[in-house]
């Protein structure tokens, strides 16, 4: 039996939410990290990625599949369902993602201070 993904895996205070290095789309690196332990169903991915709408998650998964980073497999055992899994090239993204996450953790306070300072400049709207 699989270990469930932690529901707080990508909390709003998670360093990955400040990660300035993105590829594909906003959620790609987070999806790849969710698939690191092995295949996952859509409903399993929704737990740590609860801030992503189902529509956007579907679009992100399709984009990752198109780019050859994940595979989508329809399984018909017991009840029909779909699983997503990293391809070898998708798995090769884990190391650079880990490096960027470690960098973000080291600079967490600086990043937060910079955002707060930027957002507090008179007349500047915060991003929506």
Residue 3 belongs to some domain of the structure: no
Domain count within the chain = 1
Give the model confidence (pLDDT) of 43-53 as tens digits: 999 999 999 99
Residue 33 belongs to some domain of the structure: yes
Q: ∠85-6-109 over CA atoms, to 5°?
A: 105
Q: Burial of 90 by CB count in 10 Å (0-12 exposed, 13-18 middle, 19+ buried)?
A: buried
Q: Could you tell me the residue range of the domain that residue 38 belongs to?
A: 15-120
The pLDDT assigned to 10 comes to 72
Residue 74 belongs to some domain of the structure: yes
* Least confident interval from 5-9, 15-19, 83-87: 15-19
Residue 128 belongs to some domain of the structure: no
Q: pTM surpassing 0.85? A: no
The pLDDT assigned to 128 comes to 53
């Amino acid at each position: 039996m699989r270990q469930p993904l932690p529901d707080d895996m990508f909390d709003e205070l998670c360093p990955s939410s400040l990660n300035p290095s993105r590829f594909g789309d906003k959620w790609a690196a987070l999806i790849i990290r969710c698939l690191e332990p092995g295949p996952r169903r859509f409903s399993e991915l929704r737990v740590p990625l609860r801030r992503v709408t189902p529509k956007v998650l579907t679009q992100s998964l399709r984009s990752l599949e198109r780019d050859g980073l994940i595979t989508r497999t329809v399984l018909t055992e017991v009840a029909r369902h779909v699983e997503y899994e990293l391809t070898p090239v998708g798995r090769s993204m884990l190391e650079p993602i880990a490096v960027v996450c470690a960098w973000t953790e080291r600079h967490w306070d600086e990043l937060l201070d910079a955002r707060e300072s930027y957002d507090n400049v008179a007349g500047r709207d915060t991003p929506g």
